[in-house]
Amino acid sequence: MHAPPVQRLITELSKLPGVGGRTAQRLAFHLLRSSDEDAFALAEAIREVKLKITLCEVCFNLADGPRCRICQDARRDPELICVVEEPADVISIERTHEFGGRYHVLGGALSPIDGIDPEDLKLEELYARVTDAAHPVREVVIATNPTTTGEATALHIAGGIRRLAPDVVVTRLASGLPVGADLEYADELTLGRAFAGRRAV
């Protein structure tokens, strides 16, 4: 139906998350209508990010050198580590301006059904950071997603840290009702967690 180069572009675009066949076709035709400068700038940006962006040697966040900018920042508290599943989670937490420590990116969550076992994540590297006497850790905040796999991962990490470094405080992000929500629309699990995580006012 399309010329082979156009069809190839549509096929490659449709591999992106959340992009179906029709959206891929719209994006392809948008790129065809774009100026050469805009289209080549996009192609060069994709090429550059694949060539230059790697994982931080300390926390496994995205970095354009051996260490990410957060690990290089001397103002960040090295004794406070926030554990997240993916690099995108770091960005979400940073937007809150509430966390002043450092991060550890696991690269996913435990899911035996999907073939993701503890050795597939950066768990050993986390335990090595927690037990490193030269760089003591005071607290580990587990900020995995509030899903079945995220909860299983959080429990696994908490158990491992309690076993290897019992003096390190392990906390979990609170979950419950979002701001502005009505109680009548909350599901039982969310409401239950809100009750379990209640605090004094």
pLDDT of residue 198: 78
- Write the CATH number of the domain with boundaries 76-172: 3.40.1360.10
* CA-angle at 64, arms to 58 and 68, nearest 5°: 35
pLDDT, tens only, 132-149: 989 999 999 999 998 889
Q: Which of 61, 98, 102 is nearest to 78 (CA)?
A: 102
Query: Domain spans of the chain?
Result: 4-52, 76-172
User: Tens digits of per-residue pLDDT, 159-190?
Assistant: 999 999 999 999 998 887 777 878 788 778 77
Q: What is the pLDDT of residue 188?
A: 81
SS (H, E, C) the chain: CCCHHHHHHHHHHCCCCCCCHHHHHHHHHHHHHCCHHHHHHHHHHHHHHHHHCEECCCCCCEECCCCCHHHHCCCCEEEEEEEECCHHHHHHHHHHCCCCEEEEECCCCCEHHHCECHHHCCHHHHHHHHCCCCCCCCEEEECCCCCHHHHHHHHHHHHHHHHHCCCCEEEECCCCCCCCCCHHHCCHHHHHHHHHCCCCC
What's the pLDDT at 87?
A: 96
pLDDT in tens, 71-120: 999 999 999 999 999 999 999 999 999 999 999 999 999 998 888 999 99
CATH number 1.10.8.420 given to 4-52: yes
Domain pair 4-52 / 76-172, same fold: no
Q: How far is CA 1 from CA 21, 24, 29, 98, in A?
A: 13, 15, 14, 52
pLDDT at position 105: 98
d(CA 145, CA 136): 26
* Contact criterion met (CB below 8 Å) for 70 and 102: yes
Residues 3-43: pLDDT tens digits?
999 999 999 999 999 999 999 999 999 999 999 999 999 99
**pLDDT (0 to 100) of residue 40:** 96
Question: Can you read off the two tokens belonging to residue 114?
Answer: 């999907």
